[in-house]
A and B are shown apart, each in its own frame.
Chain A
Amino acid sequence: MPRRTMIEAIRDAMDVSMARDERVIVFGEDVGFFGGVFRCTQGLQAKYGKGRCFDAPISESGIVGAAIGMAAYGLKPCVEVQFADYVYPAYDQIVSEAARLRYRSNGDFTCPIVVRMPTGGGIFGGQTHSQSPEALFTHVSGLKVVVPSNPHDAKGLLIAAIEDPDPVIFLEPKRLYNGPFDGHHERPVTPWSKHQLGEVADGHYTVPLGKAVIRRPGAAVTVLAYGTMVYVAQAAAEETGIDAEIIDLRTLLPLDLETIVASVNKTGRCVVVHEATLTSGFGAELSALVQENCFYHLEAPVARVTGWDTPYPHAQEWDYFPGPARLGRALIETMEA
Chain B
Amino acid sequence: MADAGMLRFHVPEPEVRPGGTPDFSNVSIPKAGSVPRPKIDVDPRDIRDLAFSIIRVLNRAGEAVGPWAGLLSDDELLEGLRHMMTLRSFDARMQMAQRQGKTSFYMQHLGEEAVSCAFRKALSRGDMNFPTYRQAGLLIADGYPMVTMMNQIYSNEADPLKGRQLPIMYSSKEHGFFSISGNLATQYIQAVGWAMASAISNDSKIAAAWIGDGSTAESDFHSALVFASTYKAPVVLNVVNNQWAISTFQGIARGGSGTFAARGLGFGIPSLRVDGNDYLAVHAVAKWAAERARSNLGPTLVEYVTYRVGAHSSSDDPSAYRPKAESDAWPLGDPIVRLKNHLIQRGVWSDERHAQAEAEILDTVISAQREAERHGTLHAGGKPSARDMFEGVYAEMPPHLRRQRQQAGV
Q: Which residue of A lies closest to B193 (CB)?
A: A69
- Contact (A257, B181) CB under 8 Å given A65-B193, A104-B169, A106-B161: no
Binds B, one of A88-96, A150-158, A272-280: A88-96
Residue pair B178, A72 in contact (C-beta under 8 Å): yes
Residue pair A255, B400 in contact (C-beta under 8 Å): yes
Residue pair A97, B226 in contact (C-beta under 8 Å): no
- Provide the residues of chain A in CB contact with B183, threshold 8 Å: 92, 96-97
- Provide the residues of chain B in CB contact with A62, threshold 8 Å: 189, 220, 223-224, 226-227
- Provide the residues of chain A in CB contact with B181, threshold 8 Å: 96-97, 100, 104
- Provide the residues of chain B in CB contact with A56, threshold 8 Å: 227
Asked if B395 CB lies within 8 Å of chain A CBs, one says yes
Residue pair A75, B190 in contact (C-beta under 8 Å): no
Residue pair A72, B227 in contact (C-beta under 8 Å): no
Asked if B288 CB lies within 8 Å of chain A CBs, one says no
Asked if A242 CB lies within 8 Å of chain B CBs, one says no
Chain A positions 97-141 with a Cβ under 8 Å from a chain B Cβ: 97, 100-110, 141
Q: Which residue of B lies closest to A67 (CB)?
A: B193
Residue pair B190, A254 in contact (C-beta under 8 Å): no
- Provide the residues of chain B in CB contact with A51, threshold 8 Å: 200
Q: How far is the CA of A123 from the CA of B166 in the complex (A)?
A: 46
Q: Pick the most buried of B162, B186, B188: most chain A CB atoms within 10 A of its CB.
A: B186
Chain B positions 155-207 with a Cβ under 8 Å from a chain A Cβ: 160-162, 164-165, 169, 171-173, 178-179, 181-183, 186, 188-198, 200-201, 207
**Per a CB cutoff under 8 Å, which of B162, B193, B394 touches A142?**
B394
Residue pair A72, B194 in contact (C-beta under 8 Å): yes
- Contact (A105, B161) CB under 8 Å given A70-B194, A75-B200, A92-B183: yes
Taking the nearest CB of chain A, how far is it from the CB of B54, in angstroms? 30
Q: How far is the CA of A164 from the CA of B396 in the complex (A)?
A: 10
Q: How far is the CA of A104 from the CA of B222 in the complex (A)?
A: 25
Asked if B230 CB lies within 8 Å of chain A CBs, one says yes
**Per a CB cutoff under 8 Å, which of B164, B192, B398 touches A104?**
B164
Q: How far is the CA of A83 from the CA of B179 in the complex (A)?
A: 30
Q: How far is the CA of A241 from the CA of B339 in the complex (A)?
A: 85
Q: Pick the most buried of A93, A96, A101, A108: most chain B CB atoms within 10 A of its CB.
A: A108
Q: Which residue of B lies closest to A257 (CB)?
A: B399
- Provide the residues of chain B in CB contact with A73, threshold 8 Å: 128, 193-194, 197-198, 201
- Provide the residues of chain B in CB contact with A255, threshold 8 Å: 400
- Contact (A69, B195) CB under 8 Å given A104-B171, A106-B161: yes
Interface string of B329-351 (1 = CB under 8 A from A): 00000000000000000000000
- Contact (A66, B393) CB under 8 Å given A104-B161, A254-B400: no
Asked if B5 CB lies within 8 Å of chain A CBs, one says no
**Per a CB cutoff under 8 Å, which of A59, A65, A101 touches B179?**
A101
Taking the nearest CB of chain A, how far is it from the CB of B265, in angstroms? 18
- Provide the residues of chain B in CB contact with A142, threshold 8 Å: 393-394
Asked if A68 CB lies within 8 Å of chain B CBs, one says yes
- Provide the residues of chain A in CB contact with B188, threshold 8 Å: 65
- Contact (A25, B192) CB under 8 Å given A97-B181, A102-B392, A109-B178: no
**Per a CB cutoff under 8 Å, which of B171, B201, B219, B227 touches A105?**
B171
Residue pair A59, B227 in contact (C-beta under 8 Å): yes
Residue pair A69, B223 in contact (C-beta under 8 Å): no
- Provide the residues of chain A in CB contact with B193, threshold 8 Å: 65-70, 72-73, 77
Taking the nearest CB of chain B, how far is it from the CB of A211, in angstroms? 11
**How many chain B residues touch the partner (CB < 8 A)?**
46
Asked if B130 CB lies within 8 Å of chain A CBs, one says yes
Q: How far is the CA of A75 from the CA of B194 in the complex (A)?
A: 9
Q: Pick the most buried of B130, B196, B219, B220: most chain A CB atoms within 10 A of its CB.
A: B196
Asked if A203 CB lies within 8 Å of chain B CBs, one says no
Interface string of B376-410 (1 = CB under 8 A from A): 00000000000000001111001110000000000
Interface string of B226-260 (1 = CB under 8 A from A): 11001000000000000000000000000000000
- Provide the residues of chain B in CB contact with A57, threshold 8 Å: 223, 226-227, 230
Taking the nearest CB of chain B, how far is it from the CB of A200, in angstroms? 27
- Provide the residues of chain B in CB contact with A166, threshold 8 Å: 394-395
Residue pair B189, A25 in contact (C-beta under 8 Å): no
- Provide the residues of chain B in CB contact with A217, threshold 8 Å: none
Taking the nearest CB of chain B, how far is it from the CB of A53, in angstroms? 11
Interface string of A32-56 (1 = CB under 8 A from B): 0000000000000000000110001
Q: Which residue of A lies closest to B398 (CB)?
A: A254
- Provide the residues of chain A in CB contact with B160, threshold 8 Å: 106, 108
- Provide the residues of chain A in CB contact with B201, threshold 8 Å: 73-75
- Provide the residues of chain A in CB contact with B392, threshold 8 Å: 102-103, 106-107
Taking the nearest CB of chain B, how far is it from the CB of A276, in angstroms? 20
Q: Pick the most buried of B172, B189, B192: most chain A CB atoms within 10 A of its CB.
A: B189
Taking the nearest CB of chain A, how far is it from the CB of B154, in angstroms? 15
Asked if A311 CB lies within 8 Å of chain B CBs, one says no
- Provide the residues of chain A in CB contact with B130, threshold 8 Å: 69
Asked if A210 CB lies within 8 Å of chain B CBs, one says yes
Taking the nearest CB of chain A, how far is it from the CB of B403, in angstroms? 9
Q: How far is the CA of A320 from the CA of B360 in the complex (A)?
A: 73
Q: How far is the CA of A164 from the CA of B398 in the complex (A)?
A: 13
- Provide the residues of chain B in CB contact with A97, threshold 8 Å: 181, 183, 186, 190
**Per a CB cutoff under 8 Å, which of B179, B230, B399 touches A108?**
B179
- Provide the residues of chain B in CB contact with A287, threshold 8 Å: none
Q: How far is the CA of A105 from the CA of B152 in the complex (A)?
A: 11
Taking the nearest CB of chain B, how far is it from the CB of A245, in angstroms? 21
Q: How far is the CA of A108 from the CA of B192 in the complex (A)?
A: 19
Residue pair B220, A61 in contact (C-beta under 8 Å): yes
- Contact (A141, B393) CB under 8 Å given A62-B189, A96-B183, A97-B181: yes
Known pairs A59-B222, A62-B226, A97-B186. 17 more at Cβ < 8 A?
Answer: A61-B189, A69-B130, A73-B193, A74-B197, A75-B197, A75-B201, A96-B183, A97-B190, A100-B181, A102-B395, A105-B171, A105-B173, A106-B161, A210-B398, A210-B399, A254-B399, A254-B400
Q: Which 9 A-B pairs have the closest CB atoms?
A: A69-B193, A66-B193, A62-B223, A65-B189, A254-B398, A69-B190, A73-B197, A105-B179, A69-B194
User: Which residues of chain B have a CB within 8 Å of any CB of chain A?
Assistant: 128, 130, 160-162, 164-165, 169, 171-173, 178-179, 181-183, 186, 188-198, 200-201, 207, 219-220, 222-224, 226-227, 230, 392-395, 398-400
Could you jot down 17 A-B contacts, CB within 8 Å?
A: A62-B220, A66-B193, A72-B190, A73-B128, A73-B198, A74-B197, A75-B197, A77-B193, A92-B183, A96-B181, A102-B393, A104-B179, A106-B171, A107-B392, A109-B173, A254-B399, A257-B399
